[in-house]
Structure 1
Amino acid sequence: MPNTRFTDFIKECTSDFTPVLDTKFKQKDYAHIDLSEVSEELKNIEIPSSGEIQKGIDSFLSKKKAKVAYGGYNEKRNFYERSFIFNDEKTESPRNIHIGLDFWIEAGTAVLAPLDGTVHSFHDNEGMGNYGPTIILEHLIGERMFYTLYGHLSRKCIKNLCFGQIVEAGDKIGDLGSTKVNGDYAPHLHFQIIHDLQGFNGDYPGVVAKQDLELYLENCPDPNLLLKIS
C-alpha cells in the first residue's frame, strides 16, 4: 500500500503546476502518453529501437498538437526487454514496471529543480537501457527529507556539479542528453521522487519487477502529485 502520509506530504509541497522542464512549455503544452505493453503508439513497432519509439512519440505529439509527452508511472512496458540490465538471469522475474514519470522532448531541453534543495549525488550510469548522466537532489521541508532523481541528462551538466551545492526552485540543473549518452532511448527526462534512498548514490531503480512493486510504489509516489500537470 502507498505511504499515505508521505504521499499527502508530497501533494502539499506545491499548490499548482510546477515545471521540471524549461518554462517556455506551459501546462497546456503537455499531453499524457501511454507507452505500456498495450500502447497504441507502439503497437506497430516490432523492434523497440530509440528511433522507432521517437517516431511514435512524434506522431502522438502531432495528433495532440502538444509539445511534451509525459507519463509512465506504474506502467508495465515491453521495450525494456532489449536491455540485459532489466533481464538479468539472477533475478526471479524481469524488471519492466516503470516507477518514475517520463517527459519526452528533444535533447538539449533545460531541466529545472521543482523545489529548493541541495545536490546529493550524480553519476554517469552508462550502458544500454541505463540512465546515462543522472542527478539526485536532496530536499528538506520542515522535518521531512526526501529526494528527486533526474535521469537521461547530458554529460556536460554533471561536469561542474559539487556535492552539497545549493539549488533553488526553478534553477536549471541540466539539460536532456541525446540517444548517444542517455542509455539509447529517445530523448526524455526520467523524474522520480524517492522517500528513502537506501544508500544509493547517483542512481536508484526506476524500473522494477512485479514482486517488488508494492515496496517501490510506497517509497516512490506518483511525481504528478508534486508537479500537478493534470
Structure 2
Amino acid sequence: MQEPCSVLFSLFNLLAHEYGIAKVKEYIPASYRLRRYYLLFGYFGLASWTFSMIFHTRDFNITEKLDYFAAGASVMYGMYYSPIRIFRLDKPDAINGKTGTVLRLWTIVCVSLYLAHIGYLTFVRFDYTYNMAANVVVGIVQNILWTWFSVQRFRKVGRLWAAWPGLIVAWLILAMSLELFDFPPWWGMVDAHALWHLGTVGPTIWWYNFLIKDAQEDLQSVRLKA
C-alpha cells in the first residue's frame, strides 16, 4: 500500500456516504421526487472513493485514470443535481404533469460535458492542469449556487440548519486549501492530499443531514398547504 493514510481517509469518506445513503432511505419517503437524486449522489460518492482507495493503494496508469474519471463524475453529478434542487427542476409541468424540458436539456448538457471531458483526457491528452481546472470551476459554480440557496432558504425558514450549505461550502474551501500548501509527508505517510481527504469526511455527513432536514421541511410545507 503506497499511501496508507490516503487509503484510510478515502475509506472514511466512503463510510460517510454509506451512512448518508442509509439515512436518506430511512428518513426521506420514496415518494419524494428528490430522493432518487440524493441517492445517486451517494452512489457516485461510493464509486469515487472506492477508486480513490484503489489508486492510493497502488499507482498504475489504469488506477490513476479510474480515480480521476470517478472523481470527475462525482463532481459533475454534484453540478447536475444542484440546480435540480435549488430551482426544483424535478417538479412536473402544470400543463401535462410530466417532468419539464429544462430538466431533460440539463441532463443532456451535463452528460455531454462529462463525456467530452473524459474523451479529451483519454484520446487527446491526459492533462493534469486542465483536469484540475475543470473540476475546480465546476466545484466553484455549485458552491456559489448552494451559498446563494443557503441565504435564501435561511431567510425563508429562519432556522440555523437552512444556513448549513453555506457553512459546509466554507469548510470545504478551507480543506481544499491544504492542496495549495503542500509539505513533506509527516512520518512518510500524512501529506496535504491525505489531510484534504480527511477534511471532507465531516462535511459529507453534515451534508446528508442537511438534505434530510431540507426534505422534511419541504414535505411539511406541502402537507400544510394541502
| TM-score normalised by length of structure 1 | 0.27
- Higher share in strand: 1
| TM-score normalised by length of structure 2 | 0.28
Larger radius of gyration: 2
- Higher share in helix: 2
